[in-house]
Amino acid sequence: MAFEGLSPRAESLLRTLVDMHIREGQPVGSKALHVESGMSVSPATIRNVMSDLEDRGFLLSPHTSAGRIPTAQGYRLFVDSLLQMSPIDENAIQALKSELNPSRPSSELIASASNLLTQVTSQAGIVTVPKQKASQLRQIEFLPLSDSRVLVILVVNEKEVQNRVIELSKPLSEEQLRSAADRINRRYAGNDLASVKQLLVAEMAEARSRIDEHLEAALQLAKDAMDVEDAKDEYVVAGERRLLQQASAGDMDKLRELFDAFERKRDLLELLDRCSRADGVQIFIGEEAGYEVLGDYSVITAPYAQGTQPVGVLGVIGPTRMAYERVIPLVDITARLLTAALSR
């Protein structure tokens, strides 16, 4: 079916041009397109069709070349109307099934999903981490390791034990550490960590006003340990090296901006949150994502669930000239397999 008045010939040439650009990464000239398409028309006709596609916003001519490349709008038309999905490679399916084994702990399954996506798609993989329930403090214990280092044993929720090695801001004796732990357990056990941290800050200020430096240092130690526990990753990115391998010299500044966005997290989290509220595979091409830093990249996501409850989103980020016919089905099947593993 023609799109916005495009003839079947124009659609066929656009599909061929996009395929060539994805494969070769170079602007496509009319002569090369004529040969690749195999159409029994004159080169002048090919040039006229390419010119019309450019006028409609589906192609553009880089200033360094007479050839043309697809725009984000051209890729959108290609993905929505012209794309023919490839069968999923059996080796990729086996690799996914092997790693997304229901016998593995949920945290391991989710942590490995971004690496898996990178392996099977050759793009950067991204997976959001399900939000955890608020952790409750059960017990805290301080064990001195040296004059400047302390092992903090943190028991949260029912039986979850976590160990943290923390640097002391000032030396504390074993008796001072034991006394501080007893004080914290007596006052705050049973409260969620966020509340305990706020109470510790208030008690630190009170200790400071009494010039009780040792108590203040011990309370700071406890807060530091809880800060580490609370600083859960909101999403995991893997495969940045794949993006580096695909980038040309002129892409490096844009790639650095993208890596900065990975670190800042805010923009990507907002985009992934939008994806988590949608059904099925979501595809953002270039500026469609709404962020300038993603102008030369595409984001393909799919939600994953535990049982019937959606808990996160996984997907890939890569150049707009990625192999959509391969990547889209792989993102979809990875989300389905992760859901199945988490639900058993």
Where along the chain do its domains lie?
Answer: 8-82, 90-132+233-342, 137-230
pLDDT of 231 reads: 47
Tokens 């006394």 -> residue: 179
pLDDT of 134 reads: 65
Element spanning 263, H or E:
helix 252-264
Query: How does DSSP classify residue 139?
Result: E
Mean pLDDT per block of 10 residues along the chain (344 residues) reads: 73 96 92 94 94 95 83 95 91 91 86 91 90 78 85 82 81 89 92 87 90 86 74 73 80 85 80 87 93 92 90 94 96 95 88
Beta strand extents in the chain (DSSP E only): 59-60, 69-70, 124-128, 137-144, 149-156, 160-167, 235-238, 282-285, 297-306, 309-319
Q: 213-230 and 193-209 helices cross at what angle (nearest 10)?
A: 160
Cα(94)–Cα(109) distance, integer angstroms: 15
Fold agreement between 8-82 and 137-230: no
Residues 6 or more apart whose Cβ sits within 8 Å of residue 310: 276, 303, 304
Are 166 and 221 a contacting pair, CB within 8 Å? yes
Where does 8-82 sit in CATH, by number?
1.10.10.10
Distances from the Cα of 51 to the Cαs of 3, 54, 56, 69, in angstroms? 17, 5, 9, 12
pLDDT of 1 reads: 39
User: What CATH class does 90-132+233-342 carry?
Assistant: alpha beta
Cα(48)–Cα(56) distance, integer angstroms: 12
Q: Which residues of 171-208 are buried (b: 16+ CB within 10 A; e: fewer)?
A: ebeeebbbbbbebbbeebeeeebeebbebbeebbeebe
What is the CATH T-level fold of the domain 137-230, as seen in this structure?
Enolase-like; domain 1 (3.30.390)
Query: How does DSSP classify residue 250?
Result: G
Cα(295)–Cα(292) distance, integer angstroms: 5
Tokens 């709404």 -> residue: 290
Q: Which two tokens stand for residue 215?
A: 């108590």
Are 216 and 108 a contacting pair, CB within 8 Å? no
Phi and psi (nearest 5°) for 311? Answer: -125, -15
pLDDT of 230 reads: 52
Q: What is the bridge-based pairing of β-strands 297-306 and 282-285?
A: antiparallel
